Amino acid sequence: MLKLFIAAVAVALLYWIWTKKNHIFPGKNNESDPFITTIEAIELQTYLDWDTPVSCLESDGIRYGKQFKQKTPPELPHEHGCRCEATKLFYTSEDVFQGTSPISKHKSALGELSTKDALLLKNILLEIKTNSIDDSFTDLIKKFQVNDFSDEVRSRAISMAEHAFQDTQSK
């Protein structure tokens, strides 16, 4: 009878330990809670136009802050004709690593552009202003995927680039 009692208590104790094992023996939990931090940045945004200075085009989109390579933004305006703005941004680590950053608009002489349109226009303007090539405008524009512009912006962006090209050629 004593042996039966000891066996019953042992089984009950083992059952109790089995049900409470996560509380008694904490192990590695496969579901870890994400640690989300806020990242503060200052981003330079250039107003895109045919006469935007090269220094402004080169610094467009650069982010400054504690977590970035460059800590402090430059003094604005860069040079005569600079219309850059320093915009304060806040990201969470989840935004950065998951790629869910908010889509922003970019100011230009064509109105507010999507990030994709602004980047393409900026690259075309930079190419025009930094490479003094004797090519024609048609040869230069073939280097870029101008069909990637939004339909409502494409013709006006190409006209702006052509104006910048003609201005560069006349100097």
Q: pLDDT tens digits for 97-144?
A: 666 665 678 899 999 999 899 999 999 999 998 886 667 888 888 888
Q: Are 89 and 40 in contact (CB under 8 A)?
A: yes
Burial (Cβ within 10 Å: 0-12, 13-18, ≥19) of residue 146: middle
The DSSP letter of residue 127 is H
Q: So what's the pLDDT on residue 156?
A: 94
On whether the pTM is more than 0.95, the answer is: no
Dihedral (Cα; 143, 149, 155, 157), 10-degree rounding: -70
Instruction: Determine the angle formed by the axes of helices 115-130 and 154-170, rounding to 10 degrees.
Output: 20
**Is the predicted pLDDT of residue 5 greater than 90, yes or no?**
no
Residue with tokens 């090519």: 135
Instruction: List the structure tokens of 131.
Output: 């490479």
**Is the predicted pLDDT of residue 91 greater than 70, yes or no?**
yes
Instruction: List the structure tokens of 49.
Output: 């136009």
- Give one DSSP letter per residue of 13-68, joined into a string: HHHHHHHTHHHHS----SSPPP---EEEEEEEEPPB-TT--HHHHHHTT-EESTTS
- How confident is the prediction for the chain on average, in pLDDT? 84
Which residues, 6 or more positions from 128, have their beta carbon under 8 angstroms from its beta carbon?
140, 161, 164, 165, 168
- In the three-class reduction of DSSP (H, G, I as helix; E, B as strand; rest coil), residue 78 is classed as coil
Give every strand in the sheet of 85-92, ordered side by side: 63-64, 38-45, 85-92
